[in-house]
Structure 1
Amino acid sequence: MTWQTYLTFGLYLLLMIGTGLYFCWRANNNLEDYLLGGRGLGSWVTALSAQASDMSGWLLMGLPGAVYFFGINQMWIAVGLLGGTLLNWLIVAPRLRVYTGMMDSLTLNSFLDRRFRAPKNLIRIAGAVFTLFFFTVYAAAGLVSAGKLFETMFGIDYVAAVLIGAGVMIFYTLLGGFLAVCWTDLFQGILMFLAIVVLPIYAYTTLPAGSIEQAFAARDISFSLLPPEQTTPAALLAVVSLAAWGLGYFGQPHILVRFMGIRSVRLFPRATAIAMVWVVISLAGAVWIGALAAPMFPGLDKVNSENVFIYMIGRLFHPLPGGILLAAILAAIMSTIDSQLLVSSSSLTDDVYKHLLRPQCGEREELWVSRFSVIVITVVACALAFDRDSSIFDLVTFAWGGFGAIFGPAVLFALYSKRMTWLPVFSGMVAGLVVLLVWKAFHWNAMMYEIVPGFIANILTILIVDRFAGLKNPETEREFETMVAEIKAFRTE
């Protein structure tokens, strides 16, 4: 690392801090401004902040590492994510924006609780507990990414590297709230896109023909698109397991909150187009980087394989442009953790503190509790991230699966089932969680990603409980009809 690299990183971190300072005054008006930016995001900010917060350091470190270590068949994860992203923008985003605006909901948990009229805020509180648990794990994955990045680049202690990354993110998230997070994610999304396009194109020109296939063959890894299972049905089952990542999108609070914050439903067609172009090119680039790294860096273990993006930049680029590309990794990491911290703090503040502990608290008090929550959650996530041997890919897999299995079916039924009530939905969320944890505990995820059985168990439980214990609620049905009418009105304009 040279002075140019340090300069690049320093300027990047100052930009993030400056963004937090700029939006600080906007975040102090009320809780809605701090948590949702006053529901005033444009299409570009919504699209790129949603996708940047979605992909995280996993895009530039976890996915290339998985392709490097397991083979090109890991591209089915990218295929599943692509399909899930498209469906999320098309079938979830518009209805969620209208519905949450109607109910004045600031969090996903508050929306589900009000939508289904759960007694004693049951869905809201349970959802907050689930959110805090899985987002702490998710944030830990991002901090592991930051630690590995700084350790590899600058040779500093891994624990110190984790703390540095956490400190910067806490600073601008505390100051600027949702607007600072979204605008920094816009910058970070652009930087990630630049890196994911430039690096694989240039790296490909440096390799002789056939070197990728030879490198995988030397490690006895198949270059086939199908996973190396003993039978074709088993291979196809593995493909389904990889592609099932797409199911997770319907239940990711840090992505769904972007839909809640857009200025108008009319902006969704443009935002969807921007998001899909970004996702297609970025996922293809990440898979290609993992494949290109195989002949360039043979013999890496699973933990160090997640650093191939860093190694490739160090080998191919001058320190100044290399520093810009390396900053993209930090951008990817920050763009997700800051979103997770804000959503977690909003859940802890709006769902637990206000509605369970101090219903009479004012908005100024809520703002300070939300900021304090950011610090607490970061401290816990740092403690989990201090283990350097933690796999980014494994941590993200578990957290992503948890949100998808617990919240995904609840969101879909909330948006598309007029007669659904609280008891089936709450039962389904609990069933999804239990099946996910049992599947993980018995290591059955080696056969099938735990999101699949958890998601299915959630849906089946909802349908069964609704069949035998469902309760009609005319008020929620009228609200549902109002939401549908508003969506139709927007589409006919």
Structure 2
Amino acid sequence: MFQIGGFGELFNQLGSVSTSLIDGFANTSYDPATGWAPAGAIGLVGIVSALAWGLGYFGQPHILARFMAIRSHKEVGKARLISVSLGLVIPLYGALIVGMLGIVTFDQPLADPEQVFIQLVQVAYNPWVAGFLLAAVLAAIMSTVDSQLLVSSSALSEDFYRRYFRKKASDKELVWVGRISVLVIAIIALMLAWNENSSVLDLVSYAWAGFGATFGPAILFSLFWRKTSRNGIVAGILVGGITIFLWPLTGSALYEMVPGFLFSSIAIVVFSLIGKGVSDEIKAEYDKVAGVK
């Protein structure tokens, strides 16, 4: 950014490449023969699909675990500010700027556009500095990977193995189950990543929708609707998960998060109302937490 002359020059150069690149509501395509060119306006489906990414946060266990582990409810306001600013706004704008800088820096689009940050670092910095910045990429990857692995292994050992197979399992046994779970999950992830044609963004998008639509509505309804029942939650989890698997088969361009989240929410409401109600004990606990007298 400093080398090209700041934000103003960045947008001037983007506009000279194609005016659609500086229009937030315009699609842009690339043709090797003609270069960047406008590809029409972003439709309602595209806008809704982009906004639906925000729904995914409600169902991400590695994110929710941090809020659940907070020392006091008085810290929630501070945690919200930090998570939104440092965890969302700055990284998202940073990603947009990196993409823009990639367009004006490289004459031809990269064979793998997901490596634009890695390529820019090597172009703009001394190799010693570039090494530290590339290490930061690995650090970011590892911070997410270890959280996902720990949450997954904990769920398999505590919520699945001990609950359904060995209710009296010792702590040592559960530790070994957790270790084996981490190994198995890592091997599955390696198999997915081995496909050279797979896109990191596509995999993340699919997993993000899966977590968000499966667990997001369950979390929100449990917190904000007093009549949410066990049967409603189970139905919502099943409907949301199944929708994520089946929606791509329809060929719709709408992000699967949207129908998955919607259908899961409907299932929770319907099955909570027609099924067995919530026990008085749960209602009393809900009222206590909500501050209802």
TM class by smaller structure: 0.7 to 0.9
Counterparts of 2:176 and 2:157 in 1: how far apart (Å)? Answer: 9
**Counterpart of 2:5 in structure 1: which amino acid?**
T
How far is the alpha carbon of 1:406 from its aligned partner?
0.7
**2:246 aligned with 1:438, yes or no?**
yes
**Do 1:421 and 1:472's aligned partners in 2 also have CA atoms closer than 8 Å?**
yes
CA contact (8 A) 1:215 1:298 kept: no
Residue in structure 2 matched with residue 225 of structure 1 by the alignment: 24
Are 2:274 and 1:468 aligned? yes
- Deviations along 1:257-279, one digit per CA (max 9) or x if unpaired, are 11122222222222222223313
Q: How does 1:66-81 map to 2 (within 5 A)?
A: none
CA distance in 1, matches of 2:208, 2:214: 10
Distance 1:453 1:373 in 2: 31
SS in 1 for 2:290: helix
1:116-141 CA-to-partner distances (Å, cap 9, x unmatched) read xxxxxxxxxxxxxxxxxxxxxxxxxx
For residues 373-407 of structure 1, the C-alpha deviation after alignment (integer angstroms, 9 at most, x for no partner) is: 11111111111111122101100000000111111
From the superposition, tell whether residues 231 and 281 of structure 1 become closer, same or farther in structure 2 (CA, over 3 Å): closer
Distance across 1 between alignment mates of 2:24 and 2:10 = 22
2:164 aligns to what? 356
1:375 has 2:190 as partner? no
Q: Distance in 1 between matches of 2:184 and 2:99?
A: 35
Residue 15 (structure 2) aligns with: 213
Decide whether aligned partners of structure 1 residues 315 and 427 sit closer, same or farther in structure 2, where only a CA change above 3 A counts. same
2:36 aligned partner = none
Which of 91, 107, 126 is matched with 1:298 structurally? 107
Cα distance in 1 for partners of 2:94, 2:11 equals 19
Query: Shift of the alpha carbon at 1:210?
Result: 2.1
- Alpha-carbon separation, structure 2, partners of 1:388 and 1:214: 34
Under a length normalisation based on structure 2, what TM-score does the superposition of the two structures give?
Answer: 0.87
Greater share of strand? 2
Is 2:136 the partner of 1:337?
no
CA offset at residue 470 of structure 1?
4.3
1:121 is aligned to none
Superposition map of 1:15-34 within 5 A: none
Counterpart AA for 2:259: P
> Relative contact order, CA 8 A, sep 6+: which one is greater?
1
CA separation of 1:388 and 1:460: change in aligned 2, threshold 3 A:
same
What letter matches 1:393 in structure 2? L
* Residue 399 in structure 1 maps to residue 207 in structure 2: yes
- Summarize the alignment of residues 134-173 of structure 1 with structure 2, pairs less than 5 Å apart: none
Query: Whole-Å Cα distance in 2 between the matches of residues 248 and 315 of structure 1?
Result: 34
1:162-216 CA-to-partner distances (Å, cap 9, x unmatched) read xxxxxxxxxxxxxxxxxxxxxxxxxxxxxxxxxxxxxxx4354386762222334
Instruction: Tell me the distance in 2 between the aligned counterparts of 1:389 and 1:204.
Output: 33
2:96 corresponds to: 287
Residue 411 and residue 209 in structure 1: after superposition, are their counterparts in 2 closer, same or farther (change >3 A)? closer
Change (3 A) 1:314 1:459: same
Residue pair 2:218, 2:237 contacting (<8 A) in 1 also: yes
Amino acid at match of 2:146: D
Against the structure 1 CA distance between its residues 424 and 208, is the aligned structure 2 distance closer, same or farther, given a 3 Å change threshold? closer
Aligned pair partner of 2:68 in 248, 260, 276: 260
Residue type of the alignment partner of 2:289:
M
Q: Is the 8 A contact 1:203 1:292 kept in 2?
A: no
1:205 partner SS = coil
Structure 1 residue 281, shift from structure 2 partner: 2.0
Contact kept in structure 1, 2:230 and 2:272, CA below 8 Å: no
Pair 252,203 (structure 1): closer, same or farther in 2 beyond 3 Å? farther
Change (3 A) 1:249 1:317: same
Look at both structures and tell me which one has the larger radius of gyration over its CA atoms: 2
Change (3 A) 1:297 1:470: farther
Question: 1:333-388 CA deviation, whole Å, 9 max, x = no partner?
Answer: 11111110000100110011111111111222212221221111111111111112
Q: How much does 1:441 deviate?
A: 2.3
Q: Give yes or no for contact 2:228–2:269 (8 Å, CA) kept in 1.
A: no
RMSD of the TM alignment (CA)?
Answer: 2.3
Partner of 1:366: 174
SS at match of 2:22: coil
Distance 1:401 1:379 in 2: 22
Q: Deviations over 1:129-165 (max 9, x none)?
A: xxxxxxxxxxxxxxxxxxxxxxxxxxxxxxxxxxxxx
Q: Indicate how the Cα distance of structure 1 residues 257 and 203 shifts in structure 2: closer, same or farther if over 3 A, else same.
A: farther
Cα deviation 1:58-99 (Å, max 9, x = unaligned): xxxxxxxxxxxxxxxxxxxxxxxxxxxxxxxxxxxxxxxxxx
Asked if the contact 2:217/2:264 (under 8 Å) is kept, the reply is yes
- Any conservation in 2 of the 1:419–1:473 contact (CA below 8 Å)? no
Paired residue for 1:384? 192
Cα distance between partner residues in 1 of 2:83 and 2:181: 30
The 1:295/1:411 distance shift into structure 2, 3 A limit, reads same
Name the residue aligned to 1:202. Answer: 2
SS of the residue 2:195 aligns to: coil
Write the mapping of 1:124-143 to structure 2, written as runs, cut at 5 A.
none
Structure 1 partner of 2:32: none
More helix by share: 1
Matching residue of 2:31: none
The answer for the alignment partner of 1:426 in structure 2 is 234
Structure 1: gaps spanning 5 or more residues:
1-200, 489-493
Q: What is the Cα deviation at residue 476 of structure 1? A: 1.1
| Corresponding position: 1:412 with 2:212 | no
